[in-house]
Structure 1
Amino acid sequence: MYDFANSGYTTVVLTAIFNAYFVGVIAAGAGHGGATFLWTIAMAIANGLVLMTAPIVGAMADFGAHKKRFLAVTTLGCIAFTASLALIQPGEILWAILLVVAATIMFSAGENIIAAFLPEISPPDDMGRISGYGWSLGYFGGLLVLAMCLAYVSWAEAKGQTASQYVPVTMLITAAMFALAALPTFIWLRERAVKSRLPEGEHFLFIGFKRVMETWHEARHYHDLFRFLLTLAIFQSGIYTVIVLAAIYAQQVMGFTTRDTVMMILVVNVTAAIGAFFFGRLQDRFGSVNTLTVILLLWIAALVTAYASTDRTTFWVVANMIGLALGSSQSASRALIGQFSPPGRSAEFFGLWGLAVKLAAILGPLSYGLITWLTDGNHRVAILSTNAFFIVGLFLLRSVNEKRGRIAADTPATS
């Protein structure tokens, strides 16, 4: 249910509405190339901070059995900062960056923590299916919030309101729905991990650092886990680029309005949910690596088509290809990390998953923003260059041995 609750943030703030509003209104004075670059810098700052803290938070949550408590803090933080975005006025670039950075940090930390509950509620053989169900539910959550925002935007535009008047209200809608939909998680989800007793004189912070260092030192034992984390960091760079810049591309290159973009993202959420559900079942049957191979080929085809598209019909086809690939790649990656994680250390290893994802969230969008800035706003060149992440990721993925990785997760590490 938490996947349902938090998806509104990524859908409305990072994917469909606020990102394009930032580029087109808040930072419009910086020019198209400059405004896009500023948005990607904001994403890089947020994810860089998450990158530095995610493994520590994960280890602390596992050792102290505090995942649910940590989740409550990050959830409240994301809700508060998202609501605060409603106060931002055109031209207030610094405040917009600070608030979206804070909200994204809270969201990302919560995403890592909720993922760490997966091994506690699902056996290894069912993780692909359960993870797929979670991502599917998440996309429908994003769909619901976005539909509510679309209804309000349509009403506001009919009244003659501008984006600077109706976009702030969509931030309040998103925050309120996050708070409401997250309640069942905190009512019914139980913390099943058992708290480990701290050695005398130790502190959770230092325990977190120690366990992360132990994880890195055990890289040889968890060879396929770390190889997949590297692979994930590469192809996820392309995925995150599409997530935070697709709406900007649609408006700046294809001439979409805010309503057009929201409609497109609504449809993409449906296809993403279908993709997560369908490929989640294929993953349990044919294996995670084989399933991800097909998904990455779909990503490559989608971006090549996006680069070549000159009409809206073709771009709508691209959007649905991306939807199928988006939901399934996120779900399959999360399940594979769960399968490769040793029992009792799920939050720590999902912290490393978060580290890889956040490294990608820095590299991908920042490279796109830099290319648009250097090419004076040429988004077509930037989207085509994004395909390099998927091509390299596909090559590296074939070196991951799924069976060996699962065996290693169930075998105690030796020094």
Structure 2
Amino acid sequence: MCRMTEYPPAAAFPPVAPAKTPGTPRQVIAWSLWDWGGAAFNAVMTTFIFTALYLTGDAFGGADKATATLAFALSISGFAIALLAPVAGQRTDHSGRRKLWLGINTAIVAVLTAACFFVQPHESYLLFGCMLIAAGHVFFELAGVNYNAMLLQISTKKTIGRISGLGWAAGYLGGIVALLIVYVALIKPEVGVFGITSADGMTYRAVALFSAAWILVFSIPVLLAIPESAPDPNMPKVGFFQSYRELFRTIALLWKTDRHTVYFLISSAVFRDGLAAIFTFGAVLAVGSFGFKTGDVLIFAIAGNVVAAIGALSAGFFDDKFGPKAVIVTSLVGLLVSGGALLFLDGKNAFWFFGLILCLFVGPAQSSARTFMGRLAPEGQEGELFGLYATTGRAVSFLAPQLFGMCIIIFGAQRWGIIGILAVLLLGLLLLLPVKAPPHGKSAL
């Protein structure tokens, strides 16, 4: 095995320079609002409302069948993300069109979300609905490549943890507000706004239209406040398929000069897949295995987002002080303990207690994984490295959904899908432990 290099990377990958000027408060807030808007897709559509209360319900063939179908659809979307994300990031680095593609991909997510309005409550529409959600995940991740790369435009090595945590917290708080609006305007009343009722699934279909509008509105500030990234004058324009050749060269160079970055990409791929599964299937489990009703899910969602926001904000300060690896390891251990307890306990109270503990640790793990990558990304290659980050995160994104679905099929009950999620989190933790942590805080300046 070749000798591991110290951080920062070797000369072939120039060290990351701190931002010449930190982002203004206006730019930081505008950047965070994209996460706020994205909560409509993450919290409302894929976690707590549309999939949990509608798409995986009895109208679509029952919870077990619908949940397994959704899981397999999401695993397919993972392959698409793995194929497209690194090249998308690389090409925006070279062309200087990071903001343009953030806007385009976000708009596509909004269109796919709005199309969920046409998913009628019948088993024949199950595959259509799952395909829309899965496609939305693809374009949301592609948008996220450019969004994450923007983090390095508005932060320094001293503040990246706090700004990243602020973005995650904004996403959780945006989820709270969106869920409250949906609950008060559509879910709770027998007759909602504009005379909408539950007939023909119209309540949940209208939620899709609301979510699409929410995504579009809150994606506008970042497109106005943050300047377009500069193109790389040293990189020639290459075709789409030739971009993969350049990508393989980048990976080979990383392997030779900074192997710990490769190790982190692999370990984070695994544990982030487990984190995504918690969000995707958490509410589904609450309804199908712990006796939660519609109102229970929404109240838990609000409380869970508050706890997660607190966790993400706190993680930002701990990240800048102790480094992202310490935050991630602590969070994964907390997730394994609380998730393991839910495997053996029954009832709403158990889910409330340990579910909120899960929420507390998920945000820090997500936020610090992003800052870990941000501290490693060479200047001018942020998009490509975050593209690799997205790709490795999705290269095994079939793993947790597949294991979740397989455990349901093998053991014959939805609850046992938890085993699949815990196995992925444990594997990610074991792979992360030998990875060398990057510099953080003042020592990186």
TM-score (norm 2): 0.86
Q: Does 1:19 align with 2:51?
A: yes
Q: Does 1:35 align with 2:66?
A: yes
Q: Does 1:185 align with 2:222?
A: yes
Matched with 2:375 is: 339
| Corresponding letter in the other structure for 1:53 | L
Higher mean alpha-carbon deviation, 40-49 vs 328-337, is at 40-49
Matched with 2:190 is: 156
1:405 and 1:274, CA in 2 relative to 1: closer, same or farther beyond 3 A?
closer
Quick check: 2:165–2:316 contact (8 Å CA) kept in 1?
Answer: yes
Matched with 2:10 is: none
Shift in Å, 1:204: 4.4
Aligned residues: 403
State the secondary structure of the residue aligned to 2:256: coil
Aligned mates of 2:398, 2:191 — CA distance in 1: 35
Shift in Å, 1:112: 1.5
The one of 418, 422, 429 equivalent to 1:387 is 422
Matched with 1:116 is: 149
1:211 and 1:405, CA in 2 relative to 1: closer, same or farther beyond 3 A?
farther
Quick check: 2:376–2:438 contact (8 Å CA) kept in 1?
Answer: no
1:226 and 1:107, CA in 2 relative to 1: closer, same or farther beyond 3 A?
same
Q: Does 1:140 align with 2:177?
A: no
Higher mean alpha-carbon deviation, 31-40 vs 136-145, is at 31-40
1:243 and 1:67, CA in 2 relative to 1: closer, same or farther beyond 3 A?
same
Aligned mates of 1:141, 1:99 — CA distance in 2: 22
Shift in Å, 1:114: 0.3
Shift in Å, 1:162: 5.3
Aligned mates of 2:235, 2:250 — CA distance in 1: 19
Q: Does 1:315 align with 2:347?
A: no
| Corresponding letter in the other structure for 1:65 | G
| Corresponding letter in the other structure for 1:67 | R
State the secondary structure of the residue aligned to 1:361: coil
1:162 and 1:259, CA in 2 relative to 1: closer, same or farther beyond 3 A?
farther
Aligned mates of 2:402, 2:60 — CA distance in 1: 17
Shift in Å, 1:186: 1.3
Matched with 2:39 is: 7
1:181-260 equivalence runs, <5 A: 181-196=218-233, 199=236, 202-206=237-241, 208-218=243-253, 219-260=255-296
Higher mean alpha-carbon deviation, 253-262 vs 381-390, is at 381-390
Aligned mates of 2:59, 2:86 — CA distance in 1: 34
Aligned mates of 2:87, 2:172 — CA distance in 1: 28
Shift in Å, 1:207: 5.4
Aligned mates of 2:416, 2:128 — CA distance in 1: 30
State the secondary structure of the residue aligned to 1:125: coil
The one of 121, 137, 148 equivalent to 1:104 is 137
Aligned mates of 2:107, 2:117 — CA distance in 1: 16
The one of 315, 319, 337 equivalent to 1:279 is 315
Shift in Å, 1:187: 1.3
State the secondary structure of the residue aligned to 1:61: helix
Quick check: 2:97–2:231 contact (8 Å CA) kept in 1?
Answer: no
| Corresponding letter in the other structure for 1:386 | I
| Corresponding letter in the other structure for 1:296 | L
Q: Does 1:63 align with 2:94?
A: yes
Matched with 1:400 is: 435
Gap regions ≥5 residues in structure 1 = 411-415
Runs of at least 4 residues off by over 4 Å: 157-160
Aligned mates of 1:180, 1:405 — CA distance in 2: 35
Aligned mates of 2:206, 2:304 — CA distance in 1: 23
Q: Deviations over 1:35-91 (max 9, x none)?
A: 211010111122221111000101001010111111111011011110110111122
Aligned mates of 1:162, 1:309 — CA distance in 2: 36
Q: Indicate the structure with greater helix content.
A: 1
Aligned mates of 1:326, 1:171 — CA distance in 2: 25
Quick check: 1:48–1:358 contact (8 Å CA) kept in 2?
Answer: yes
The one of 171, 174, 185 equivalent to 2:211 is 174
1:354-373 equivalence runs, <5 A: 354-373=390-409
| Corresponding letter in the other structure for 1:45 | I
